Chains A and B, each alone.
Chain A
Amino acid sequence: MAGLEQSYAQALWELLQKGEKPKEAVTKIHSALQEKGRGALMPAIGRAFERLAQREALKNRSVLVVARKSDEAKARKESGAHDAELQIDETLIGGWKLFDKGTMRDESWKSALLTIYNNALK
């Protein structure tokens, strides 16, 4: 079972999803906790919320990684990720890598070459 701090973090997340303003939501939770004598939980709730936000961001984030800026157009066309955030990673050599909603497609040359190298060595 999740800890109390995780439950509060989840509750805070849901409040924000419903359209509550962040500052007001945090203030409400803080005062509710103070009344119950659980004010000390606040830092732990903050940390749990951070983890939750990161997880949700990872889940919904769309990132296209290419080896160089000039590969962008081709990569977007091939991957179909037209709105994805772009990142450059020269170690990919060529091709692209797409992180999209908790999944990853790796069409980089580095990955293909490593697969061939590892299989040839086996």
Chain B
Amino acid sequence: MDTSVVEKIVKEIEQHSPKKEGAHVGRVTAVGDGVVAIDGLEKAVMSEVVEFEVTAGKSLKDSMASEGDLFGLILNLEEDGVRAVVLGDTSRVKEGTTVKSTGKILSVPSGEELLGRVVNALGEPQDGKGPFKKPTMMPVERESYGVIHRKSVSVPLQTGIKAIDAMIPIGRGQRELIIGDRSTGKTTIAIDTIINQKYEPKDRRPICVYVAIGQKESKTARIVQQLKDNDALGHTIIVDAPASSPAALQYLAPFAGVAIGEYFMDRGKDVLVIYDDLSKQAVAYRQLSLLLRRPPGREAYPGDIFYLHSRLLERAARLSEEKGGGSLTALPIIETQEGDISGYIPTNVISITDGQIFLESGLFNKGVRPAINVGDSVSRVGSAAQTKAMKAVAGTLKLELAQFRELEAFMQFASDLDKATADRIATGQRMVEILKQKNGSPMPFEQQVVDLYAAVHKLYADVPLPKVKQAEAQWLEFVNAGYGDVLDEIKETGVLSDEAKNKLNAAMEAFRGAHKELFA
């Protein structure tokens, strides 16, 4: 016999004291599509967790064989009863089932032991690695920090993606939307950002929470494997509410994710939470609201759909030193239809966030990956967090690329163009090549600086376009081999000093001499 289980039971019996207070109860009068109507429960409060007495009338053996407790969440308080969503298998609830009030607001477990784990929207482990030993329970719904407890964004969150870190920088505590059609690389950006955090020093490394909402289980499994393969699962927690889970859990998953993240933020740590994606959460919430008979509004979404996302994203913050100085950065993802960013949910979330990274299927199909539309993408607060080194090299990048995009249409008349225009197009084309990055290969910040420094200082101007990526790889190899001190200095200080610039200029000259085959 397993003695540890016996010990546990003995301890449990010793500590067990029969409850003296009676719990308020009600009765299920209607059930369907994950929503139940309950009579009674007069003292019920909004967002309270209720417990269904699913074992009533069942023998002890049958009760032990069943799937455990079943809970619900009250979402409507009505004149003659309450309506709640079932947080589990609705088929276990029957008309007449007794419902017990718990007096508790929904909370999820959080803590260091969740790192590297996959949990569902209720914080229950889903990866077969066993239960959590001593988790701290965090409320799923909590008021966000007020102005007094916040400070402005000033520390960068490196994504490892050159186009983002250079032109659309993200700061810790910021809310940056990733928006685009299906299959344009939204999740890839998010996952690369998580992977890139492994390059951060351990004491400053953000804890990452990836919330998968309405995704295929196969996709989430692939992401978990990718994070594991890239040594990034150790600082990541995955909250999974797959497409097969009830709408209630898909609606709750982002709140569970932020609650888990807040545990770390409250303890002075930096956290990155990715919501993949909020369009599916909005759809799940619409389904629930319609079943709860709330009045439908535009596109049948309920009237509080804006509040749903604003109260979630407002929980992203950079806290003051008095509050520990932690931060919670939010990267919500929104899927558009046919590139239409003027839809209801996209415009809502665009207006809530501090900027957006807009991905275009046209660019993606042309092979420009990440397919970021630089013109439509913006970061409203991130530039304050950008390092001086990156600012020094990326200052004119966005403008140059925007000018290139305007001139791009004239490329077919290349033979008739004046030299200045042709040069600008050639530079733009090379810049686009340099900003391309493979899936799953984020680049450490200091390498990005060196890479972009070379691009901005026309190292690749004489390299034929098809050889630019090869030249870039060789340049980085060259710098890593012979100029490690420059990279270390940039990494440590975040500044590109004049001395470092001189060294890089000399390195470029040496590179030109050493790799003559690359230059036309």
The verdict on A113 contacting B60 (CB below 8 Å), with A103-B22, A118-B68, A120-B12 known, is yes
> A112 — which chain B residues lie within 8 A by C-beta?
16, 18
Given contacts A102-B25, A103-B25, contact A116 B13 (CB under 8 A): yes
5 extra interface residue pairs, beta carbon distance < 8 Å, beyond A51-B39, A103-B23: A2-B80, A55-B80, A102-B41, A117-B64, A120-B8
CB nearest to A52 among chain B residues: B80
* Pair A102/B24 contact, Cβ less than 8 Å: yes
A105 on the interface (CB 8 Å rule)? yes
Partner of A116, one of B9, B20, B22, B58: B9
Is B136 in the interface zone, CB < 8 Å from A?
no
- State whether A119 and B12 are in contact (beta carbons under 8 Å apart), knowing that A51-B80, A104-B23 are contacts in the complex: yes
Pick from A54, A91, A104, A117: contact of B57, CB below 8 A: A91
Q: Is B79 an interface residue (CB 8 A)?
A: yes
Chain A's nearest CB lies how many Å from the CB of B131?
Answer: 5
In the complex, the chain A residue whose C-beta lies closest to that of B57 is A91
- Inter-chain CA distance A51–B40, complex, in Å, is 11
**Are A98's CB and B22's CB within 8 A?**
yes
Name the distance in Å between A13's Cβ and chain B's nearest Cβ.
12
Please, which residues of chain B bring their CB within 8 A of the CB of A2? Answer: 79-80
Chain A residues with CB below 8 A from B21, complex form: 105
Closest to A58 in B: B40
Cβ–Cβ contact B22 & A105, under 8 A? yes
The distance in angstroms between the C-alpha atoms of A52 and B39, with both chains bound, is 9
Known: A58-B40, A102-B40. A120 touches B22 (CB 8 A): no
Q: Could you pull out 9 A-B pairs where Cβ atoms are within 8 angstroms?
A: A1-B79, A6-B79, A58-B27, A89-B57, A91-B60, A93-B60, A102-B40, A102-B42, A104-B24
Q: Chain A contacts of B29 at CB under 8 A?
A: 51
Check B55–A104 contact: CB distance below 8 A: no
B59 proximal to A (CB < 8 A):
yes
Knowing A2-B80, A100-B22, say if A110 contacts B12 (CB, 8 Å).
no
Chain A contact residues, CB within 8 Å of chain B: 1-2, 6, 51-52, 54-55, 58-59, 89, 91, 93, 98-100, 102-107, 110, 112-120, 122
- Is B19's CB within 8 Å of the partner chain A? yes
- With a cutoff of 8 Å between Cβ atoms, the chain B residues found around residue A54 in the complex are 39
Nearest B residue (CB) for A90: B59
A106 to B20, CA, bound (A): 9
- C-alpha gap A2/B57 in the complex (Å): 34
The answer to the question of B481 belonging to the interface, with a C-beta cut-off of 8 Å to chain A, is: no
Q: Known contacts A120-B5, A122-B131; decide if A59 and B12 are in contact (CB<8 Å).
A: no
Contacts of B58 in A (CB 8 A): 91
Pick the contact of A114: B20, B22, B25, B64 (CB < 8 A). Answer: B64
Question: Do B12 and A116 touch across chains, with their CB atoms under 8 A apart?
Answer: yes
- B residues 1-20 with Cβ under 8 Å of A? 5, 8-9, 12-13, 16, 18-20
Chain A residues lying within 8 Å of B158, measured Cβ to Cβ, are none
Give the size range of B's interface with the partner.
35 or more
Q: Is B98 an interface residue, CB under 8 A from the partner?
A: yes
B100 close to chain A: CB less than 8 A: yes
B63 contacts chain A at the CB level, 8 A cutoff:
yes
Complex contacts, A52 vs chain B, CB 8 Å? 80
For A120, list chain B residues within 8 Å (CB). 5, 8-9, 12
Determine which of A55, A93, A98, A100 lies in contact with B40 in the assembled complex, contact meaning CB atoms within 8 Å: A55
Give min CB distance, A109 to chain B, whole Å.
8
A4 to chain B, nearest CB (A): 13
B200 CB–A CB distance under 8 Å = no
B340 close to A (CB within 8 Å)? no
Alpha-carbon separation in the docked complex, A122 to B11 (Å): 14
Q: CB distance B27 to A118 under 8 Å? A: no
Q: Closest 4 CB pairs between A and B?
A: A103-B22, A105-B22, A104-B25, A55-B39
Given the known inter-chain contacts A58-B39, A114-B63, please indicate yes or no for A103 contacting B24, CB distance below 8 A: yes
A105 and B39: CB pair below 8 A? no
- Report B-chain residues with C-beta under 8 Å of the C-beta of A106: 19, 23
Across the interface, which residues of A come within 8 angstroms of B16, CB to CB? 112, 115-116
- Contact string, B197-211, partner A, CB cutoff 8 A, digits 1/0? 000000000000000
- Chain A residue nearest to B100 (CB atoms) is A104
With known contacts A55-B39, A110-B60, A105–B19 Cβ distance under 8 A: yes
